[in-house]
Amino acid sequence: MKPISIEVWNPSGKYRVVSTKSMPGSRWIRLLTEQDCRVEICTETKTILSVDDILALIGDRCDGVIGQLTEDWGDVLFSALRRAGGTAFSNMAVGYNNVDVDAANKHGIAVGNTPGVLTETTAELAASLSLSAARRIVEADQFMRAGLYDGWLPHLFVGNLLKGQTVGVIGAGRIGSAYARMMIEGFKMNLIYYDLYQATRLEKFVTAYGEFLKANGEQPVTWKRASSMQEVLSEADVISLHPILDKTTYHLINKDSLALMKKEAILVNASRGPVIDEAALVEHLKANPMFRVGLDVFEDEPLMKPGLAEQKNAVVVPHIASASKWTREGMATLAALNVLGKIKGYPVWSDPNRIEPFLDESSPPPAASPSIVNAKQLGLPSSKL
Ligand SMILES: NC(=O)c1ccc[n+]([C@@H]2O[C@H](COP(=O)([O-])OP(=O)(O)OC[C@H]3O[C@@H](n4cnc5c(N)ncnc54)[C@H](O)[C@@H]3O)[C@@H](O)[C@H]2O)c1
Ligand SMILES: O=C(O)[C@H](O)CO
């Protein structure tokens, strides 16, 4: 196996923890080295590591790995980690569709993720994409830079007004609900959402905000929980996708579902690329120039499907929804603490949505793993804190 380049922190540490990428901030490194970990960070320049690269990083002895959503964590890697004496893996991401959790269970490896810390940052990017698509910001920017602006015109880059329109959310979990609140409070949009579960807190928020507006003599905002995704697609003016990626959400948006949407609707995706059949989307964009999309994620990432890049009615950014400094440093901290907690035999934090105590730099983090998705399957104890 070819050697792989690494940077080492605290070489004499008792536990060997590998990070497949350099991650923002230094707190995560400090938290590990202070607890007797030797931290090895992969410094290979290529962006996506292969399974063989990661096998080389795991080597003969490894207690835990912090990995990335671009990596394929299945039976090969989990069995290698187990053989090397490891018991812990954490994705530096909330989504873990790149992880075969059954394989991890089989080998007794805890799988961590990083919920909560990226909720607002990701929702803000989805809101940015919604605005950019509605007001044609990227097209207008390119027009200016090309020196084409020769004076104000009544028809120049006319887009969509959001106020009073309906925002549709598919997957009203943490991020979907935060996005909905931004669009409702910011632009006084009405809400229609589809989720397998009732978003009670979100409904209460919209009701209370509607009452506030009414009391101030303004048109109140409203909410509706749709009984099908199709209802959201046909009624909403702006639709944002925020479900997890699994078998039930793969190609949720396809040729048939696109046909249900309004001709001037806006579709935003900051969840996972395969939630949209991207080839069908390209055809829809070509046939409907007033339909616009804002995409942070792509079906064959890092590639775009042929034809997408040429569509002026698409705003595309490279999977940056969680990319604020605070969030990325927090994700690194949570991922490191997931691995550390398992190595040290700490219990699992009882509420993965209440992660503030782990992010407070002025006090030591609780002795717990913040979020282990297979804690129940592995029978890991829950923290009483
Ligand atoms: N683009 C990015 O950088 C970025 C950043 C963070 C998260 N994400 C993605 O966003 C996803 C959601 O994150 P979250 O923290 O809000 O998770 P969450 O678990 O709080 O929310 C997901 C919601 O999807 C719902 N859902 C599941 N299956 C569904 C279906 N078939 N139809 C409708 N709704 C369904 C769930 O009930 C849940 O409410 C992550 O899994 C991840 O893939 C992407
Ligand atoms: O799932 C996630 O966390 C994102 O895709 C990266 O922030």
Tell the residue nearest (CA) to atom 2 of ligand 2. Answer: 93
For residue 103, give every residue at least 6 positions away whose Cβ sits within 8 Å of its Cβ, in sequence order, or none. Answer: 73, 74, 75, 78, 79
What is the per-residue pLDDT for 254? 98
> Atom of ligand 1 at shortest distance to CA of 119?
15
Local confidence band at 196 (pLDDT 50, 70, 90 cut-offs): very high
Q: Is the CB of 118 under 6 A from ligand 2?
A: yes
Summarize the confidence of residues 85-114 as an average pLDDT. 98
Cα 148 to averaged position of ligand 1 atoms, centre (Å): 41
What is the per-residue pLDDT for 1? 64
> Atom of ligand 2 at shortest distance to CA of 319?
5
Q: Is the CB of 177 under 6 A from ligand 2?
A: no
Q: Which ligand is nearest to the CA of 246?
A: 1
For residue 110, give every residue at least 6 positions away whose Cβ sits within 8 Å of its Cβ, in sequence order, or none. Answer: 87, 88, 89, 104, 338, 342, 369, 372, 374, 375, 378, 380
Local confidence band at 352 (pLDDT 50, 70, 90 cut-offs): confident
DSSP state of 275: G
Active site residues: 272, 301, 319
Cα 321 to averaged position of ligand 2 atoms, centre (Å): 8
Does the structure's ipTM exceed the value 0.95?
yes
Q: What is the pLDDT of residues 257-287, one digit of tens each?
A: 999 999 999 999 999 999 999 999 999 999 9
Q: Is the CB of 132 under 6 A from ligand 2?
A: no
Local confidence band at 385 (pLDDT 50, 70, 90 cut-offs): confident
- Give which of 60, 67, 3, 8 is closest to 38, Cα–Cα: 8
Cα 60 to averaged position of ligand 1 atoms, centre (Å): 36
Q: How is residue 187 written in tokens?
A: 């632009």
Q: Is the CB of 200 under 6 A from ligand 1?
A: no
Cα 171 to averaged position of ligand 1 atoms, centre (Å): 6
Q: Is the CB of 322 under 6 A from ligand 2?
A: yes
Percent of the residues in the chain that have a pLDDT greater than 70, as a whole number: 99
Q: Is the CB of 171 under 6 A from ligand 2?
A: no
Q: What is the pLDDT of residues 47-62, one digit of tens each?
A: 999 999 999 999 999 9
One-letter identity of residue 372: I
Q: How far apart are CA 10 and CA 296, in angstroms?
A: 37
Pocket test for ligand 2, best of 66, 122, 241 (most atoms within 8 A of CB): 122
Residue with tokens 């104000």: 152
Summarize the confidence of residues 1-23 as an average pLDDT. 94
Q: How far apart are CA 258 and CA 285, in angstroms?
A: 10
Q: Please name each of the domains of the chain with its CATH number.
A: 6-117+323-378 (3.40.50.720), 119-316 (3.40.50.720)
Summarize the confidence of residues 3-32 as an average pLDDT. 97
Mean pLDDT score across all residues of the chain: 97
pTM greater than the 0.90 cutoff: yes
Cα 228 to averaged position of ligand 2 atoms, centre (Å): 26
Summarize the confidence of residues 214-231 as an average pLDDT. 98
Tell the residue nearest (CA) to atom 1 of ligand 2. Answer: 95
Phi/psi class of residue 147: alpha, beta or left (left: φ > 0; alpha: ψ in -120 to 50)?
Answer: left
The 10 Å Cβ neighbour count of residue 218 is 11
Tell the residue nearest (CA) to atom 6 of ligand 2. Answer: 93
- Give which of 251, 254, 257, 264 is closest to 230, Cα–Cα: 257
DSSP class per residue in 351-362: -TT--HHHH-TT
Give the CA dihedral 286, 291, 296, 301, nearest 10 degrees.
Answer: -20
> Atom of ligand 1 at shortest distance to CA of 272?
43
Question: DSSP 3-state assignment of 8?
Answer: strand
The bridge status of strand 64-67 relative to strand 37-42 is unpaired
DSSP class per residue in 61-120: --SEEEE-TTS-BSHHHHHHHHHTT--EEEESSS--TTB-HHHHHHTT-EEE---STTHH
Q: Is the CB of 69 under 6 A from ligand 2?
A: yes
What is the per-residue pLDDT for 384? 73
224: pLDDT strictly greater than 70: yes
Q: Which ligand is nearest to the CA of 195?
A: 1
